[in-house]
Amino acid sequence: MKCLMGLVTISLCVLSSSCSDDATIWSAKVDSPNGQLIATAQTVQTSGPGNNSVGTAVYLKQPLSSYPPVMVLGLSDESAYPVGVTAVELHWQSNSKLDVTYKAGATIEFQAVKALGADISVHQVSSQ
């Protein structure tokens, strides 16, 4: 009986993990003026049983480094619609100052103010 219960538990775990579906629905990339940093952003929509979400993340990376990108901003979004509501705008004000704007309907879940020598400023703009 214990063996059967274990088999059922493992089967349920495999089935529930295979039902999840992640899709990148938007992305952007902007190089710093001197090319020493790359800012990227992507919005991922996840769906599955009891696991629906939309989130946008912004990362910084040094182009010649083998290290993975560093997450500097994480947003949860109310919805992926209308199209474009999840998009953030990335703007390098200088070689070491990244400005990120996001629209109403998103909530900041994580924010770094400095990473890889760059200062990161974040502010909300209206969705109009």
- Average pLDDT of the residues in 30-54: 90
Domain ranges of the chain: 21-125
CB 42 within 8 A of CB 56: yes
Examine the pLDDT at 63 and tell me if it is beyond 90: yes
Q: How confident is the model at residue 24 (pLDDT cuts 50, 70, 90)?
A: confident
Q: What percent of the chain has pLDDT over 70?
A: 78
Q: For residue 21, which of 53, 43, 67 has the smallest C-alpha distance? A: 53
Residue 38, C-beta contacts closer than 8 angstroms, at least 6 positions apart? 29, 30, 31, 32, 60, 61, 62, 63
